[in-house]
A and B are shown apart, each in its own frame.
Chain A
Amino acid sequence: MTIIEIDNLKFSYLGQTETALEIEHLSISEGESVLITGKSGSGKSTLIQCINGIIPHVTAGKLTGNVRLKGEDVSEMTVAKISTIVGTLLQDPERQVLNYKVVEEIAFGPENLNCTHDEIEKRIQAATERTGIEDLMERDTDTLSGGEMQRVALTSVMAMEPEILVLDEPTSNIDPEGTEKIFQFLHQQKGVKTLIVVEHKVERALRFVDRIIVIDNGRIVLDIPKENMLEMVHTLLEKGIEIPEEFLYASKMGLKSADIETVREEIQREGITLHSHARRRGGDLVLEAQSKVEVPERIIVDAELKARKGTVVAIMGKNGAGKSTLLKAMLGLINKNQFTSSSSIKIDKVDLSESDISRRGAYISYLPQSFDLMLINRTVEREVKYSMRKRGIRNDELLQTIFEIFELYEIRAADPLRLSMGQRRRVSMAAILASEVRIVLMDEPTSGQDFYHKDLMGKELRKITDMGYTVIVVTHDGRFVYRYADELAIMHEGRIVFHGIPEEGFEISEQYGILPPSDHLLRRHEKNLEVE
């Protein structure tokens, strides 16, 4: 039975002339699991907002055509009524959890539906059993890790007992372990609920979806059963979708399965050589940092980190492992009223241990996860020049190089805050590099970025390390690390438990909640490791 039916849908956002979404026909059957994928800004979120009634009920714009849920037109239903049919989980858990206590958060939806105390209790119990968060029930939401918080948000959606579950990039802000738990849950729900998942990590979603829909420029450009994916990998790649290497090789070799072991055996049988990624040893030691951050109950960070000139050092670890805190301790950004901290830091042999933020900033630059907060100027050009001006630097050559690397010439007169997420990230990067500071710390820059933008960023990092910059990047993206990092540091419970080349790190990473990327798994027995 068809549960969602879309006909001649056309939507443009208020004040914009171009059409954000145009769908001639789309139908989804009850119990079906659908993956919706595409580049950032392609229209995926717009489509799901048409399904869950946010468009037209909350977000204004010009809408024609119709979306029907169980035969009823969404535009004629109230959001409240829709919410009993469609449950929606968003990308960022911190932006959707409203309540202080976990139990209050889960009860929020049923309370809105005027359920009785017994009914709410029944729903809470059923939802928590399904998502497996019984152990979190007594916790306060602001003490949860990103992964835990997302599972609480998911449970609160499940407590609405929706027939359709819509998940908009549910794992892009959480660690691999949290991601795995969400996907395990979705796997269990396959066939039980109608699932619509917007996700960049195609290969992870494959185990529970029946169908893949690719959206590009607001239109459905591919709508295929999962089984046909191998035949269409190159089309998907052309549309900017992240395709793991095993799928590409499986397609190339005409295999029916993209199972890593099968593909690797076939590669060896056919004598294909897989090129490993070059790792740099780097130049002189430019960063030596030792940090200890603690609260009375526990040590949050007790770690030592070193980096060499011209290298990319990735820091990985579960949510709450202390990665971001380590970066903040190095920068002197730890709140002394909340934490006890001590740190020693040497950059290029200059001891900055006693220096304040401002002086440290002359040696280290920082790109936080919420990089929008550094965009304070009215134009891109002024934003990039700001750091130079404040540090008294005149270097037109560097400015020109930065504008070229980050492709900013065309948008130099634009307001940074009005740009797309990818562009804003590039402006922020350019702005911190313009200060001629050679050590760059980046906190989860891959979070929420699609394959195209992550790839672009990786190449940019390569270019700036060629120029002698050293980059320390905190990320959950194993594939990004495998492709672009020279060294991997694994953090666990505040300590760095491994620091070396990614190939060695990913051999032991699973015990610390970090899944090795398939690029590594395909090459794990290769001996042709390149080191520059």
Chain B
Amino acid sequence: MNYIIDAIISWLIFLFGVAAPFYLILGVIGIGGFREITKYEVYNSFYYKLNPAIKILFSVVVMIIASMVIWWISALLAIVILLSYTSLRNGRRKAFIGSMFLLSVIIGTTWSYAPLTPPAILSIAFPHQTTFLDLWKWPSYFAIMGYQPYLTLQGLIYGVQISFRFAAVTIAALILVMTTTPSQILKALHKLRIPDPIVFSLMVAMKSVPMVFESLDTSVKLQMLRGLGSDRSKYLKPIFMLIAGLSAIVPTIVHLMRGAKDIAISADTRGFRAYNRRTYFVDIPMTRTDYYMVGLFLAGIGVAGIMLALGFGRAIPYIS
């Protein structure tokens, strides 16, 4: 009897890690929410006025700092950036979607690391601890999935710490997408000497991201209209949304590919890549604020470097 109860609890814990991010992504954020945080909308607050190159640099700097410093600094960084979403158009809504996305990243990453991280790695991450607190013993056959015999508290903490390294960068990168038009990015990347074919691919990708979510959303809703999951409990809705989302991938790709050819023809027949260089009618100048931001970035990296040199806030070991 105990064996059965243990198995049920083990599978529930396992499923929580799989289902919770899906529930947050599909049930709370929804495809429409994803479209909102991947689409440019006109507004006039701080981020919108920054030079696109500075916003690209911002993501890079956040990535550098998050990889260098102790996890809680990354977490702090992620929360501060998330709070700054409130300055965007429909800021509160975007901050809410961003926080749900952040939570799904944290849960998903934690569950990907916690049960799989061997004690040897945990010993490096937690050098001052000789024993780890076992929270749950997995059934032996979970080893097939690479699971360690026990789920430990330290494993969970380690998973959370790792997740913030991804979270801060992801939250920062979305700011670029939400506050910059594709053509502004084209100009910025071109000035940074990135080759035009790569820049154009990025530009088309940026233009396509909201369309991807829009098409997926339409396809999912069409399946619901046709009766998918209609006779099931509403609590199972996220699962049917996931099924519908997976089924929608192929028609969405085909639909977008048909459009992508037109985009390529439209650009090529207007002389795209006619010459190695191109001119720009509307230039995006570097403003004083942009230079201040560069200063702030340098200071941030500098402070992180100094603190690391002084032995404070090092990324490894994870807990000082």
Contact = CB atoms under 8 A, between A and B. Distances in A.
Helix, strand, loop or mixed for chain B's interface?
helix
Interface in B258-276: 258-259, 262-275
Interface residues of B, number: 56
A87 B221 CA distance: 39
B222 A368 contact: yes
Contacts of A96: 262-263, 265-266
A111 B274 CA distance: 10
B268 A58 contact: yes
Contacts of B184: 100
Interface in B162-211: 181-184, 203-204, 207
Interface string B243-282: 0000110111011001100111111111111110111111
Given A104-B282, A365-B225, A112 B259 contact: no
A67 to B, nearest CB: 15
Contacts of B203: 98
A80 B230 contact: no
A370 B215 contact: yes
A156 B181 CA distance: 18
B274 A78 contact: yes
B281 A113 contact: no
A128 B35 CA distance: 32
A160 B270 contact: yes
Given A104-B183, A109-B271, A374-B251, A435 B281 contact: no
B290 interface: no
B311 interface: no
A70 interface: no
Contact of A362 (B227, B268, B282): B227
A114 interface: yes
A366 B281 contact: no
Nearest to A108: B270
B300 interface: no
Interface residues of A, number: 78
Given A88-B265, A96-B263, A111-B280, A376 B223 contact: yes
B259 A92 contact: yes
Closest 8 CB pairs of A and B: A80-B274, A390-B227, A100-B181, A96-B266, A361-B225, A109-B270, A107-B281, A112-B271
18 contacts: A52-B269, A83-B274, A88-B265, A96-B262, A96-B265, A111-B280, A112-B275, A114-B275, A114-B277, A114-B278, A361-B226, A370-B218, A373-B215, A373-B218, A373-B252, A373-B255, A376-B247, A435-B226
Given A98-B267, A156-B270, A358-B230, 8 more contacts: A80-B271, A82-B269, A83-B269, A112-B273, A157-B270, A358-B225, A368-B222, A376-B219
Interface of A: 49, 52-54, 57-58, 78-84, 86-88, 90-92, 94-101, 103-104, 107-117, 120-121, 124, 140, 153, 156-157, 160, 331, 333, 335, 337-338, 357-362, 364-366, 368, 370, 372-376, 386-387, 390-392, 417, 431-432, 435
Interface of B: 32-33, 36, 40, 42, 93, 181-184, 203-204, 207, 215, 218-219, 221-231, 247-248, 250-252, 254-255, 258-259, 262-275, 277-282
